[in-house]
Amino acid sequence: MRIATWNINSVRTREDRVREFLTRSDVDVLCLQETKCTDKQFPDFTDTGYEQAHFGLHSFNGVAILSRVGLENVKTNFGQPGFDKDLPQDQNMEARAIGATCGDVEVWSLYVPNGREIRDPHYTYKLRWLQALADYARGEVTTGRSADTQGDTITPAEDKLCLVGDFNIAPRDEDVWDRSHFDGKTHVTPRERACLAALENAGMEEATKLIEDEYTYWDYQALRFQKGEGMRIDLQYARGISATSARVDRDERKGKGASDHAPVIIDYEV
């Protein structure tokens, strides 16, 4: 099974790029993040031979799964907390996660909170969100974390599980172009990386570690892509299936109208 993850950074702006990618990439499942649209606004890709599921509430966040190997048991709640900047009011769940059974693998498309700054409440939210994800992977689901569960019933994770998306964390210092640039900033802190370690302790293995010396994200600012100043923050974690090859479609970061992220493609033996 070939699974790709791609922070598309506005799917309506880049619908043609998604269609072209599906045509040439031969992926079985494509997970998208930052679709930046509501469910009604999400483009219809079913004419490409893929079923689709999308979760979007506003013109920001938003996640989707496109699958040609089946799409069942769609859910958007694994027990994650919600967030609202106007604390301490009720924290509503954001459109950052969607999961479905594709073939016989449970696949989640995830847009992990950015964290903003270490002293920002969003950083604590990020850590709690990732803790809930690790709990879910372990089968230790706590209900009632979110003030708005979108009507979902939280069911245990399947044995074959794949968690993919924009994690907004660089697993190693080598995964950023200049570690000193991130001193005192998010994405590289020990607490964030401990959350990735918690996923591994829950039985998940980082499939994207097969990718060496390649970034997945380059900021639009300061000509980061042209200078080779990127980060490896788009990741895939799996259990019950084995990664056999991995690559970054770097060409998708080129040209006019590209997302600031590139697709990350993993082949699995299921």
What structural domains and CATH numbers belong to the chain? 2-269 (3.60.10.10)
- Active-site residue flag, 58: no
pLDDT of residue 154: 86
- Active-site residue flag, 166: yes
- Active-site residue flag, 111: yes
pLDDT of residue 36: 98
Q: Which run of H or E residues covers position 102?
A: strand 97-102
pLDDT of residue 109: 99
Annotated catalytic residue: which of 187, 217, 261, 268? 261
Residue indicated by tokens 């040209």? 255
pLDDT of residue 155: 85
pLDDT of residue 156: 85
Is 92 annotated in a binding site? The answer is no
Is 166 annotated in a binding site? The answer is yes
| Count of all residues that appear for the chain in the document | 270
d(CA 164, CA 102): 13
pLDDT of residue 89: 61
Cis peptide before 88 (omega within 30 of 0): yes
**Residue 129, both tokens:** 């969100």
φ, ψ at 148 (rounded to 5°): -130, 100
SS3 208: helix
Is 159 annotated in a binding site? The answer is no
Give which of 82, 77, 79, 85 is closest to 94, Cα–Cα: 82
> Per residue of the chain (270 residues), what is the pLDDT tens digit?
999 999 999 999 999 999 999 999 999 999 999 999 999 999 999 999 999 999 999 999 999 999 999 999 999 999 999 998 765 667 789 999 999 999 999 999 999 999 999 999 999 999 999 999 999 999 987 654 444 444 456 888 999 999 999 999 999 999 999 999 999 999 999 999 999 999 999 999 999 999 989 999 999 999 999 999 999 999 999 999 999 999 999 999 999 999 999 999 999 999
d(CA 217, CA 1): 24
Annotated catalytic residue: which of 135, 166, 175, 267? 166
Is 175 annotated in a binding site? The answer is no
d(CA 90, CA 105): 34
CB 83 within 8 A of CB 124: no
Per the rule left: phi > 0, alpha: psi between -120 and 50, beta: everything else, 113 is: beta
pLDDT of residue 135: 97
d(CA 208, CA 205): 9
SS3 123: helix
Is 260 annotated in a binding site? The answer is yes
d(CA 39, CA 153): 20
Cα three-residue angle 51-61-74, rounded to 5 degrees: 35
By the 10 Å C-beta count (0-12 exposed, 13-18 middle, 19+ buried), 34 is classed as buried
SS3 85: coil
d(CA 163, CA 206): 9
pLDDT of residue 144: 46
Q: Which residues contact 91 (CB under 8 A, 6 or more apart)?
A: 81, 82, 83, 84, 146, 147
Is 114 annotated in a binding site? The answer is no
Alpha carbon of residue 252 to chain centroid = 17
